[in-house]
Structure 1
Amino acid sequence: MTIISNPVLRGFNPDASMLRVGDDYYIATSTFEWFPGVQIHHSRDLVHWRMLTRPLSEVSQLDLRGTPSSGGIWAPALTYHNGTFYLMITDVKARRGVFKDLHNYLLTSNDIMGPWSTPIHLNSSGFDPFLFHDDDGRKYLLNMAWDYRKGKDRFSGIMMQQYSEEKRCLIGPVTKIATGTSIGVTEGPFMFKRNGWYYLLLAEGGTGWNHAATLARSRHIEGPYEYDPEFPLITTVDTPDYPLQKAGHGAIVETQNGEWYMSYICARPLPERRLSPLGRETGLARLVWTEDGWLRLTQGGKLPPVTEQAPDLPPHTFLQLPSTDDFEDEELGGQYFTLRVPASGDWLSLTERPGYLRLRGRESLYSWHNQSMVARRLDHFECEVETCVEFEPEHFNQMAGLVLYYDESDHFYLRISRDEDRGKHIALVVTKQGQYDEPDGAVVLTDNWERCYLKVIVQFHRVQFSCSPDGTTWLNIGNTLDLGQLSDEYEGKLGFTGTMIGLCAQDLSGMMKQADFDYFTIITK
């Protein structure tokens, strides 16, 4: 029996929207403030997955400059009808206090690889939009509605309105079709139809430790909806020691052979700690129908499966990324993101010095606008990351190096710089809850440091940075740091992303000093 090992999409891959078209399966996940927007993953057997494409690749489709951390793209919803792919997104522009400044857009394409249309604005009443295609050809937009008023339930229900493809806008009345169960915090609607029933899968309980997914149904699309009497379908709320936590927010597909699976999000906490620095990830659960028309986890109970029986489909593997990227290609690989802005030639080049990633320094790691950073997800609790950089800073405002980054308020940065006291040197910078610090232990670079090798070793909660003049003899810089700091839950932080590991450069003088990175190696255990 072939096994699915969860999570199937590891590291910061939340809000999974799963879709089957013929023999192909797709999962779209949120990218928040990272560019390009939305990741679409592909599989043919639900066991092996690859990152396939990122639809929002132009500023004309997605402008994230000034977007707050954990804002940007929330909960994409991918659907398909009559030869067209439909992608719903929420773009969150502000999330302070009780308000949510956000906008819901629709994009379409005849090919999953694009090109995708210019986004059409549909509404701004709440987040988690989903476009349902009914049997009669009518289309309906569902989204949760946000109510900021004092004394009101901020998650005020699931709203529905018809979408006119001809007019490219919403038409007709807005109807509240569901308010959720006693779990509360109802969001993330996903709708499908079977045997004359409209089924509505809802995320509930918030995206933290109380997260869950609940199924409801109705004979009429506008309701009333009855809830599964044994709700929720999946949750870990009462099992804090279970290896997969925060289970909820799903989508459901039927395989070619009549098997049923649900995508769900989850998180793997650090051992014996309620902190999950890898972010929310994506898993799969096999489902079975009851005689009275409800879905249950095939394994029984409500816990997300750590391993799951794969469907009866031919195995379909993909080439794995090599552990080292030597930057030989002329474009960045699909594993990389940039922060809020696209990888444009004014600050990034893979061709000016072939075999190197050249970054020109711009704004600080605190900026919401024009950072020069290339990063990828941290997806394992045990790994070793290494790079080699050639960089000749002229003063303290010019820096470049290796960063473990959650957001501007929490990150660890091993950087090369120069000042009037130490000359050229390597030092560690730690920002914790917005407080900047430079721990002792800087290494002054003598003439034998023609190139600077930088490394970080992650062993669960322990993070150790080091440097080397030759890639062989390594010097630890600073004490071990706590990976748990780079978590959504750390000291009450309200974020939704995960730890990224990146290469970056800053030049606060505005001269855009360049740094050349020779390679980027990530070895996981």
Structure 2
Amino acid sequence: MTLLHNPVIRGFAPDPSMVRVGDCYYVATSSFEWFPTIPIHRSRDLAHWEYAGHVEGAAPGGSLAGVPDSGGIWAPSLSWDGERFWVVYAIVRSVGTPYFDTDVYGSTATDVSGRWTTPRRIPSHGFDPSLFHDDGRLWLLNLQNDHRPGGSRFAGIVLTELDPGTLAPVGGTHLLLQHEQLVEGPKLLRRDGWYYLVLAEGGTGFEHGVRVARSRALTGPYELDDRPLLTSRDDPSLPLQKAGHGELVQTPSGHWVLSHLAARPLHTPAGPRCTLGRETAIQPVAWDTDGWPRLAHGGHHPAVEVDVPTPPAHSAVAPSAVPVEPSGRPWCTLRAAPDPSWADTTSRPGWIRLRGRHGPESRWAHSLLARRITEHRAEAEVTMEAAPRTFTQAAGLVLWYDTEVYLSLDVTWAEPEGEGQHGQQWQDPRAGRTVLSLTERDEDGIRQAALVEIGTDAPLTLGATIDGAEARFWYVRDGVRTPVGPPLDFARLSDDHGSRLRFTGAMAGIHAVDLVGAELIADFTGFRLTCR
């Protein structure tokens, strides 16, 4: 057996959909408003995972411009029909409203790291779709949403047959199950004459879980198991919380495992805060004498360390051919892939050149490159050059959750010392100072935590140290590290802060802003994110 330590994919890797092809496992996770769309990881031993690519082109037209925070691509489902991979997913364009305004798409590929077909829109009852391949037939499962006054946003699980060639619906739609509790994320499998419906239960927060239903007939009726397969909602002391959204997969040796999401909360005076977002975990599963799946270690709580079957010795994962950052994942960008017009890696070898565009709260054209924070202790730093000449220009290091919650340390312009803040004096736009501005943003607005004059456009190293719920910013000049401002509350960069729905995770990155001319050039080198 091989000892597996959860979570296996760490830092903002929610809604895992796992499939086995031969002796290799693949997991697709949600990307929401971020690019690359639908990241995919692979493993041969379930314990060690590597980035394998993403579903390029998942956003039609290459853009998610305008989608709200935590909108975009939700809960992709990965499957295999014996010849090719399939992925289905919803693009959610409204969050927190009666209408989700979803568009569900399907795409295929013969290699997850290769080219995916142009996505085709399919029946879009709701989010969290999946596919079931059954004796040459193709079925689409989904949640249905009743947006009407008095209706349920989680109004049952539905099933529609699709033509495998055209993805057009064949026949009508079947209602499989309705439940007084919130159920979503349906996955279907067949075993020993039963159809098993694996469901996410209780939402995506601390009440999350996995519940199973079964039927002798594909179209039902389905009987719910009287107890959850997985949840951590009854024990807040567990290190893995929010456990839910599962999928059952059989290993080559005939064993079964459950992929699921979980979160590792910080315990703060304001309550638990999951700054790393929801992550991917795996639990071994056994079947009881009544034919229901149960966690192999007993009970329904997720375990941090579990034993999984050891694969054959020849089953090492081949190195990935996908160009990635040292973390094994590519840079992430908001609502569109990086474009050489604003993210240039060739003009100055060894540097990344960003051209400033919209401000950090834009849903359209924010020049930002970021990477996932994967542990509760981390440090980010980067060396940069920029010469802002107005308060509308800035560039620097950012700790990011979304457009309403972030912390940033930026090189920018300010009035001469002693003068009030009164807009740019355009008669002499160079008058003023080059400064470091430390700002914090949350739902109550944006605040300046510190302003430090640096007085030169020479290269400057900016950094941030994260220790649990605290973030401290600093800069380095002539080998001396100098703190900037007070410690800031990093726990706000979490799914759980505030009342608005949030589903992603904290990131560290670089950005540039030029609100007037879109021409400020900021050069960055030596970006480092160390998580431990």
Question: Are residue 410 (structure 1) and residue 410 (structure 2) matched?
Answer: no
Question: Are residue 287 (structure 1) and residue 285 (structure 2) matched?
Answer: yes
Query: Which of 213, 218, 221 is matched with 1:216 structurally?
Result: 213
**1:426 counterpart residue number:** 436
Moved over 6 A (4+): 317-320
Question: Are residue 479 (structure 1) and residue 464 (structure 2) matched?
Answer: no
Mapped partners of 1:91, 1:58: distance in 2: 9
* Aligned counterparts, 1:431-510, within 5 A: 431-433=441-443, 435-439=445-449, 441-447=450-456, 450-470=458-478, 472-510=479-517
Distance 1:299 1:488, change over 3 A: same
Where 2:185 maps in the other structure, the secondary structure is: strand
**2:105 counterpart residue number:** 105
Higher mean alpha-carbon deviation, 278-287 vs 113-122, is at 113-122
Amino acid at match of 2:166: K
- Conservation of the 8 A alpha-carbon contact between 1:88 and 1:130: yes
Deviations 1:131-189 (A, max 9, x none): 10012x11110000011222222200001110012333112111100124x5x111000
Tell me by how many angstroms 1:114 deviates.
2.4
Mapped partners of 1:154, 1:59: distance in 2: 24
Deviations 1:262-287 (A, max 9, x none): 00101111035311111011100000
Deviations 1:339-376 (A, max 9, x none): 11111111011111010011100000000001100001
Distance 1:500 1:57, change over 3 A: farther
Question: Are residue 373 (structure 1) and residue 368 (structure 2) matched?
Answer: yes
Report the aligned-residue RMSD: 1.9
* Aligned counterparts, 1:294-313, within 5 A: 294-313=292-311
Tell me by how many angstroms 1:201 deviates.
0.2
Deviations 1:292-337 (A, max 9, x none): 21111011111011111021214647879xxx969xxxxx973311
Question: Are residue 189 (structure 1) and residue 172 (structure 2) matched?
Answer: no
**1:518 counterpart residue number:** 525
**2:265 counterpart residue number:** 269
Distance 1:442 1:319, change over 3 A: farther
Amino acid at match of 1:37: T
Where 1:115 maps in the other structure, the secondary structure is: coil
* Aligned counterparts, 1:194-205, within 5 A: 194-205=191-202
Amino acid at match of 2:436: I
**1:73 counterpart residue number:** 73
- Conservation of the 8 A alpha-carbon contact between 1:361 and 1:507: yes
Higher mean alpha-carbon deviation, 95-104 vs 59-68, is at 59-68
Mapped partners of 1:74, 1:26: distance in 2: 18
**2:428 counterpart residue number:** none
- Conservation of the 8 A alpha-carbon contact between 1:59 and 1:342: no
Amino acid at match of 2:45: D
- Conservation of the 8 A alpha-carbon contact between 2:96 and 2:501: no
Distance 1:434 1:349, change over 3 A: farther
**1:340 counterpart residue number:** 335
Mapped partners of 1:392, 1:74: distance in 2: 39
- Conservation of the 8 A alpha-carbon contact between 2:333 and 2:369: yes
Mapped partners of 1:78, 1:342: distance in 2: 22
Mapped partners of 2:393, 2:486: distance in 1: 24
Count of aligned positions: 511
Amino acid at match of 1:499: A
**1:329 counterpart residue number:** none
Mapped partners of 1:60, 1:187: distance in 2: 25
**1:90 counterpart residue number:** 90
Distance 1:61 1:270, change over 3 A: same
Mapped partners of 1:18, 1:283: distance in 2: 11
Mapped partners of 1:446, 1:510: distance in 2: 23
- Conservation of the 8 A alpha-carbon contact between 2:4 and 2:308: yes
Higher mean alpha-carbon deviation, 16-25 vs 90-99, is at 90-99
**2:426 counterpart residue number:** none
Deviations 1:109-141 (A, max 9, x none): 122222111111112221111110012x11110
Tell me by how many angstroms 1:519 deviates.
1.3
**2:163 counterpart residue number:** 164
**2:346 counterpart residue number:** 351
Mapped partners of 2:60, 2:300: distance in 1: 43
Mapped partners of 2:178, 2:345: distance in 1: 51
Query: Which of 217, 227, 251 is matched with 1:255 structurally?
Result: 251
Mapped partners of 2:434, 2:166: distance in 1: 62
Q: TM-score, normalised by structure 1?
A: 0.94
Amino acid at match of 2:13: N
* Aligned counterparts, 1:121-140, within 5 A: 121-135=121-135, 137-140=136-139
Amino acid at match of 1:144: L
- Conservation of the 8 A alpha-carbon contact between 1:396 and 1:418: yes
**2:382 counterpart residue number:** 387
Mapped partners of 1:2, 1:119: distance in 2: 38
Tell me by how many angstroms 1:71 deviates.
0.3
